[in-house]
Structure 1
Amino acid sequence: MAVLGYARVSTRDQHLTGQIEALKEAGATTIYREKVSGVRADRPQLAKLMLALQAGDVVVVTKLDRLGRSTRELLDLIEQIGSAGAAFRSLGDPLFDTTSSQGRLLLAVLAAIASFERDLIRERTTEGRKRAMAEGKRFGRKPKLTDFQRKEALKRRAAGETLAEIANTYAVNVSMISRLSRKSTDR
């Protein structure tokens, strides 16, 4: 069993010293350090820490925001730590300690709330999309060619013009004209 610390500051001007001292006091034998914004998904030292985790290890941070910026990200990282058979502890947030039953309960409740929130967002999005479709709204990019241009392009293709000539006229890719031709023959 090892105690692994993770220290992070957002800018080059900030210092890791205070975090490193607190992590050493908490028994961290290895400390992964980085100077990178928590918003960035690519945090190499955090990735190394996650790969080094073994069953029985404890990951320690000075505060929750050092590990992640959003609730969802924090819960995902803590779940990954748990999946590796390790525990998580935040020195500045004593309730976030998966080595205790209270900490595990709090995380389970937060995970359930986050899941509930995702479901609500999905439902609202689906309802909004259905309403918009019923009102005749179209989704996705606007077509590069109008209906008239598509019909005209098909007529020109039937008259023997090359795909490249037609595509150049409308400033579109040859593949678009090719798809138009295929769709008209499929009908």
Structure 2
Amino acid sequence: MLIGYARVSTQDQKPELQHDALAAAGCEKVFTEKASGAQRDRPELTAAIAYMREGDTLVVWKLDRLARSMKQLIETVEGLEARGIGFRSLTEAIDTTTPGGKLVFHIFGALAEFERSIIRERTRAGLDAARARGRTGGRPKKLSEGDLRVARAMLADETITVEEVARQLRVSPATLYRHMPAARSQVRER
């Protein structure tokens, strides 16, 4: 059984073009959604996949209707394959139920993996170069060394709680505990 999935990104877009193409391809049922491709939670796609049985084929008008990224596309199609469900994209003429379609899809997958590896390499090289120049990434620390000295001095007074110190320094108690693990043990001893 051929099951169609149509998706439009905005309220202004109309799914009729996709519906016509899916009907011409022989889809017996079509699930339609108005959602961004970047959204992971797409109820109609989930419903379409849940509706399908082994031997069925999910049909889309274009690859970008199913997923926003190559990684997301490959994960979705692999999930379908694991259940014995085929995948077909009308515009790109990819059909994983045929040997040639599987080959094309796996080439797409290999290219996506290659692209991810290159991006990882470039990112790592960029971070290494920045570190060599003395720059470190990440979020700035909430507490300076001076703040930590003040916190230690305040916590030396047993009448002052961690919550009061945190409020004074305008951070959460969890932040204070993260910077001063000894503060946690002081609370337990009291």
Shorter-normalised TM range: 0.7 to 0.9
Matches within 5 A, 1:80-159: 80-94=79-93, 96-159=94-157
Partner of 1:19: 18
Which whole-Å CA distance do the structure 2 matches of 1:91 and 1:178 have between them? 56
Partner of 1:60: 59
Matches within 5 A, 1:24-63: 24-63=23-62
Matched, 1:72 2:75: no
When residues 153 and 84 of structure 1 are mapped into structure 2, their CA distance, relative to the original with a 3 A threshold, is same
Amino acid in the other structure paired with 1:123: E
Which whole-Å CA distance do the structure 2 matches of 1:177 and 1:25 have between them? 63
Partner of 1:166: 165
Q: State the shift of 1:72 in Å.
A: 2.4
Which whole-Å CA distance do the structure 2 matches of 1:71 and 1:131 have between them? 29
Q: State the shift of 1:184 in Å.
A: 10
Amino acid in the other structure paired with 2:17: G
In 1, are the aligned partners of 2:54 and 2:83 still within 8 Å (CA)? yes
Which whole-Å CA distance do the structure 1 matches of 2:77 and 2:181 have between them? 53
Partner of 1:8: 7
Which whole-Å CA distance do the structure 2 matches of 1:88 and 1:178 have between them? 51
Q: Could you list the structure 1 runs, at least 4 aligned residues long, displaced by more than 6 angstroms after superposition.
A: 183-186
Unaligned stretches of 5+ in structure 2?
Answer: none
TM-score (norm 1): 0.83
**Same amino acid, percent of matched pairs:** 38
Unaligned stretches of 5+ in structure 1?
Answer: none
In 2, are the aligned partners of 1:7 and 1:19 still within 8 Å (CA)? yes
Q: State the shift of 1:181 in Å.
A: 5.9
> What is the SS of the residue equivalent to 2:53?
coil
Amino acid in the other structure paired with 2:53: Q
Q: State the shift of 1:156 in Å.
A: 2.5
In 2, are the aligned partners of 1:53 and 1:84 still within 8 Å (CA)? no
What's the CA shift string for 1:79-127, capped at 9, x where partnerless? 2222221111122222x11122221111111111111221222233233
